Amino acid sequence: MEVFKIIYSVLGGLGIFFYGMKSMSEALQSVAGDMIKNIINTLTKKRIYAVMVGTFVTMLVQSSSVTTVMVVGFVNAGLMKLTQAIGIIFGANIGTTITGWIISIKVGKYGLLFIGLGIFPMLFGKKNNIRQIGRVLFGIGMIFFGLKIMSDAFKPLRAMPEFLDAISYFSGQHYGSYFASIIVGCLLTMIVQSSSAMLGITIALASTGVIEFHTAAALVLGENIGTTITALLASFGANINAIRAARAHAIFNLLGVLFIFSIFPYYIEFVDWVVPGSTAAVGADGEFTNVAVHIASGHSIFNITATVLFLPFLNKLANLVIKITPDRETKEQHHLVMLGEPKDMIPATSLAQAKAETDKLKEIVDKMYNLSKAILKEKVDESSKSKAIAKIKDYEQITDNIQKEITVFLVKLFEVPLSAKESREAQSLMKVADELESVADYLTSLTVYSTRMPLSELLENEAGSDFFKFFKEVKAFYKMSANNVVTEEPIDLTLIQRKSEELRLRANDIRDRHIQRVGKGECQPLTALTYSDMIVALRKIRSHSENIAQAYGQALMEEAT
């Protein structure tokens, strides 16, 4: 019965701890999301800055796994170079140690206090930032409270000879026990998928005297290896550079652990020398008062030391992962579907990745516009025309796929907590992707219509002059409307609406004039339907271009206000 009580108490405490970590992390991401996105966007090539960014971002989101998955996504989307990603991963390992320092505060002492301080602004705050700050405090309280429950549950284990005999090998002070503890820490972290949770359990075990400091330190080393599995899983199906970034994370942590393992007894002595107080000191409540700070210090010392040692060899590490992960023979296409689940990423960075995919979608539509112009202007010979039209159709299929991927990704993003601003941006990106795909459809239709009869007959004299003038004006309107998606600069929506209406009326006028020309015998009757279909296609492109400006322009205006 005692064993069952310990099990359900540990599971309950772990659940409360997980919920606290999730609440705190999501609240911090909501408050600091734009700051994180701006920091990432202004990254420089200097490796030390990348390390600082990785450290700061991970301190904000309280999860190195979130940061590394974010980095893998950025590399996959082409927003970040491999060397920048590795630098951020270095920093993420340092930033994640702040969790250990938060946990090392005397657990349970302030748990209910933080819950009480956070619950009222979280539930009754009128502004989002106030609610999120309350959620941060509530999350911290839940972390402390969960750890308190686990610590209390672990205390009876000290008096259980069967349990102590079972773990006696791990308590030994020899390299065999150190290695076994590292393996256990790695495996448990891979299963739990949270180094922070395993760190909390380790500190709770050590604080209650169930395991000694050297065993806890070895477990923490293993946890640093186990946490890399998250990024490795996120890289499955991604492009080569994303896989390289994930493998660089694993190799970096593995080599760092191997180095510390080789000097483990001296490492333990150094931590004991740096941190005041004996790990064997017991407080009035029966808990080991200093061991938590020693574990947190050892965690920080390990990650800082590994970063300092490997930073000069960052390019060497990049070359190593490039060598073990060679380029594929086939040309790769970036796909949003390969970026993982939005629930595992920071909303602001998920939006940045979706934005990058939307920009790529626009680039393809731009290529389709240029290619359709070359076909209609007969700048490609007859032998190449069929290939050009096939290329247009291929581009159209790609735009269909990307638009679908963006939509699925953003729908999943709506399942996680978003601020009002993030929700508006996600909605506008979804709308823009849909409208760009529609422009691609009508560009394809436009070129297909042109194959019904010789262009020399279809676009002769005034009919050709009217068509190409209108084609040029619609293209300019599309460019004016869609460019703000890439530049994110405000756009005059009143001007867009006025220009769109002018083009709509112009399209109707051009169709009527062509019908008149056919009636007068100036053009062949067979051209009327095809000519009308081509003008309608351009008019539809005009309509979808206006929708693009409305969707993203309105979001920018609301953001500015």
Q: Which of 196-200, 201-205, 475-479 has the highest mean pLDDT?
A: 475-479
Of the residues 265, 288, 321, which one is the last residue of a structural domain?
321
Q: What confidence score (pLDDT) does residue 405 get?
A: 87
Distance set, CA 289 to CA 180, 276, 376 (Å): 26, 12, 80
Residues 38 and 98 in one domain: yes
Per the CB < 8 A criterion, the answer to whether 34 and 139 are in contact is no
For residues 421 and 555, give the distance between their C-alpha atoms in angstroms, rounded to a whole number.
8
For residues 448 and 37, give the distance between their C-alpha atoms in angstroms, rounded to a whole number.
42
Residues 549 and 479 in one domain: yes
Q: What confidence score (pLDDT) does residue 163 get?
A: 66
When divided into structural domains, the chain yields a total of 2
Residues 168 and 303 in one domain: yes
For residues 467 and 510, give the distance between their C-alpha atoms in angstroms, rounded to a whole number.
8
Of residues 106 and 169, the one with the higher pLDDT is: 169
pLDDT band at 559; cut points 50, 70, 90: low
Domain that holds residue 428: 341-560
Per the CB < 8 A criterion, the answer to whether 329 and 123 are in contact is no
Of the residues 321, 356, 389, which one is the last residue of a structural domain?
321
Q: Is pLDDT of 557 > 60?
A: no
Q: What confidence score (pLDDT) does residue 365 get?
A: 92
Residue 233, domain member (yes or no): yes
Residue 78, domain member (yes or no): yes
Residue 335, domain member (yes or no): no
Q: Is pLDDT of 541 > 80?
A: yes
Residues 402 and 259 in one domain: no
Kindly report which listed range (163-167, 508-512, 531-535) carries the lowest average pLDDT score. 163-167
Q: What confidence score (pLDDT) does residue 379 get?
A: 67
Residue 415, domain member (yes or no): yes
Q: How far apart are the first and last CA of the chain?
A: 61
Residue 561 DSSP code? -
pLDDT band at 436; cut points 50, 70, 90: very high
- Pair of tokens at residue 447: 């070129």
Q: What confidence score (pLDDT) does residue 442 get?
A: 92
Task: State residue 282 phi and psi, 5-degree precision.
Answer: -115, 135
Residue 526, domain member (yes or no): yes
Residues 287 and 379 in one domain: no
Kindly report which listed range (5-19, 230-244, 455-469) carries the lowest average pLDDT score. 230-244
- Whichever domain contains 447, its CATH number is 1.20.58.220
pLDDT band at 76; cut points 50, 70, 90: low
Query: Which whole number is the average pLDDT over 151-158?
Result: 76
Give residue for tokens 């953003």: 410
Query: Which whole number is the average pLDDT over 366-389?
Result: 79
Residues 368 and 301 in one domain: no
Residues 316 and 377 in one domain: no
Query: Which whole number is the average pLDDT over 520-540?
Result: 80
Per the CB < 8 A criterion, the answer to whether 220 and 188 are in contact is no
Residues 349 and 301 in one domain: no
Residue 452, domain member (yes or no): yes
Question: What are the b/e assignments for 470-499, b being 16+ CB within 10 Å?
Answer: bbebbbebbebbbbbbeeeeebebeebeeb
Residues 293 and 361 in one domain: no
Residues 317 and 219 in one domain: yes
For residues 193 and 68, give the distance between their C-alpha atoms in angstroms, rounded to a whole number.
13
What's the pLDDT tens digit per position in 285-344?
667 778 888 998 988 998 888 888 888 888 888 888 888 888 765 444 444 444 556 766
For residues 290 and 267, give the distance between their C-alpha atoms in angstroms, rounded to a whole number.
17
Q: What confidence score (pLDDT) does residue 341 get?
A: 67
Instruction: Report CA dihedral (250, 101, 214, 146) to the nearest 10 degrees.
Output: -100
Task: State residue 101 phi and psi, 5-degree precision.
Answer: -70, -35
For residues 58 and 39, give the distance between their C-alpha atoms in angstroms, rounded to a whole number.
12
For residues 62 and 30, give the distance between their C-alpha atoms in angstroms, rounded to a whole number.
13
Q: What confidence score (pLDDT) does residue 145 get?
A: 85
Residues 294 and 433 in one domain: no
Q: What confidence score (pLDDT) does residue 140 get?
A: 83
Q: Which of 24-28, 97-101, 145-149, 507-511 has the highest mean pLDDT?
A: 507-511
Residues 308 and 434 in one domain: no
Q: What confidence score (pLDDT) does residue 238 get?
A: 63
Task: State residue 296 phi and psi, 5-degree precision.
Answer: -60, -40
Q: What confidence score (pLDDT) does residue 37 get?
A: 62
Of residues 35 and 95, the one with the higher pLDDT is: 95
Q: What confidence score (pLDDT) does residue 334 get?
A: 44
Provide the mean pLDDT of the chain.
Answer: 80
Query: Which whole number is the average pLDDT over 42-71?
Result: 72
Residue 309, domain member (yes or no): yes
For residues 447 and 440, give the distance between their C-alpha atoms in angstroms, rounded to a whole number.
11
Kindly report which listed range (100-109, 134-143, 451-460) carries the lowest average pLDDT score. 100-109
Query: Which whole number is the average pLDDT over 191-200?
Result: 78
Which residues are CB-neighbours of 68 under 8 A, at least 6 positions away?
89, 92, 228, 230, 231, 234, 245, 246, 249
Residue 327, domain member (yes or no): no
pTM of the model: 0.67
Query: Which whole number is the average pLDDT over 16-21?
Result: 82
Query: Which whole number is the average pLDDT over 127-150?
Result: 84
Q: What three-state secondary structure class fits 403?
A: helix
Helix, strand, coil tally for the chain in percent (to 5):
80, 0, 20
For residues 74 and 335, give the distance between their C-alpha atoms in angstroms, rounded to a whole number.
12
Task: State residue 545 phi and psi, 5-degree precision.
Answer: -65, -40
